[in-house]
Amino acid sequence: MSLGGDVCVVTGACGFLGKRLVKLLLEEEKAAEIRLLDRDVPPHVLQSLEDCRGETILSVFEGDIRDGNFLRKALRGASTVFHTASLIDVTESVEYNEIYGVNVHGTQLLLEACIQENVAYFIYTSTMEVMGPNPRGEPIINGTEDTVYDTTLKFNYSKTKKEAEQRTLQANGEMLQNGGRLSTCALRPMYIYGDGCRFLLYHMGNGIRNKNVLFRTSVPEAHVNPVYVGNVAFAHLQAARILKDPQKRNIIGGKFYFISDDTPPMSYSDFNHALMSPLGFGIQDKLLLPLCIFYILCFLLEALCTILRPFVRIVPPMNRQLLTLLNTTFTFSYQKAKKDLGYVPRYSWEEARKHTTEWLASQLPMERAKIMSS
């Protein structure tokens, strides 16, 4: 089912995934209009989309997702919402009220705006972190949507994404103002990488400072399966197509799907090395300290920051839950998404690695210059 002639809204349109999704919609669907909703839409973002825009109208809606009136205006006359916007935080550097306001309250207001403005289809970008790992670091290998797991969440990010996902799925079937029904689904991508990934730039910058040797923060046996941003964007498009199909929407409405691809499972640290080794980067052979000692140090650092918090807010670069995340085997299958959404990765591991490494190579001189001048 095509989105041709539709009016689509992409929240977080200037983000890592949002930009890729907008570009894909322009290239593959002849939508009447695509609305870029974000707090700030720089002119260069629109300029970068001109070559593939065709006859599609690109509209800019700058504002706060926590503003219900703004959302109603942005959604008026639209048919489909891709909700990719969120605050990502794994170091607990963002105040809870802020992250809850954007991730949960913003999603709730967006769902309410859909009902008020008769927007029929809503695709929510969730994350595999709503599943865990739990604080005990219990592993999942090739998990599915039916995997039973003791999901005890510690990160405010994970908790708020989980609640926003639940609200999205519960809204499936809600009656719209015009008597129609809202159809929703949620996608849970693995760690998303690719050209434009700021986390990869962060690790590359640290490697430059460490004389072209990447830091190891995860043990080699802690396998995860990252997913390429182009494949995640395609999964969103497929979800929208299925929701539009009256014969199929009941299959996926109110459900979530894990989105991975054929990127080989490996640890986060070894994954960074796989992408950056062609650029001359090595990697530490092992953790600087045994994992148990690392946990104790994180605990002491967290305790110290808690004591000091009434006087000064200090955010440690590593905490126990992040260390658990980095050192727990946590892999998931995309077979249900393949069956229900017709999702098959557009990009192979070889293509995804090539595109990502080439982009990192283009950024390397600027990163070196930035570090040299600091």
Residue 178 lies in a domain: yes
Cα distance between residue 280 and residue 360, in whole Å: 12
For residue 125, tell me if it sits in a domain: yes
- Kindly report, residue by residue over 4-48, the tens digit of the pLDDT: 789 999 999 999 999 999 999 999 888 889 999 999 999 888 888
Which of the residues are catalytic? Answer: 157
What are the helix (H) ranges across 59-178?
A: 68-75, 96-100, 106-117, 156-170
Residue 87 tokens, joined: 């605050």
What is the CATH number for 139? Answer: 3.40.50.720
pLDDT of residue 130: 96
Residue 324 lies in a domain: no
Distance CA 104, CA 101 (A): 6
Q: Is residue 318 part of a domain?
A: no
Domain that holds residue 154: 7-196+226-265+330-348
pLDDT at 241: 96
Q: In a structure prediction context, what are the per-residue pLDDT tens digits for the chain, which is 374 residues long?
A: 678 789 999 999 999 999 999 999 999 888 889 999 999 999 888 888 888 878 899 999 999 999 999 999 999 999 999 999 999 998 888 899 999 999 999 999 999 999 999 999 999 999 999 999 999 999 999 999 999 999 888 899 999 999 999 999 999 999 999 999 999 999 999 999 999 999 999 999 999 999 999 999 999 999 999 999 999 999 999 999 999 999 899 999 999 999 999 999 999 999 999 999 999 999 999 998 899 999 999 999 888 888 888 888 888 888 999 999 999 999 999 999 999 999 999 999 999 999 999 999 999 999 999 888 87
* Total domains, the chain: 1
Indicate the DSSP class of residue 50: G
Rounded CA gap, 107 and 66, in Å? 8
Residue 284 within a domain:
no
Note whether residue 325 is domain-resident: no
User: Does 81 reside within a domain?
Assistant: yes
- The DSSP element (H or E) to which 72 belongs, if any, is helix 68-75
Q: Is residue 361 part of a domain?
A: no
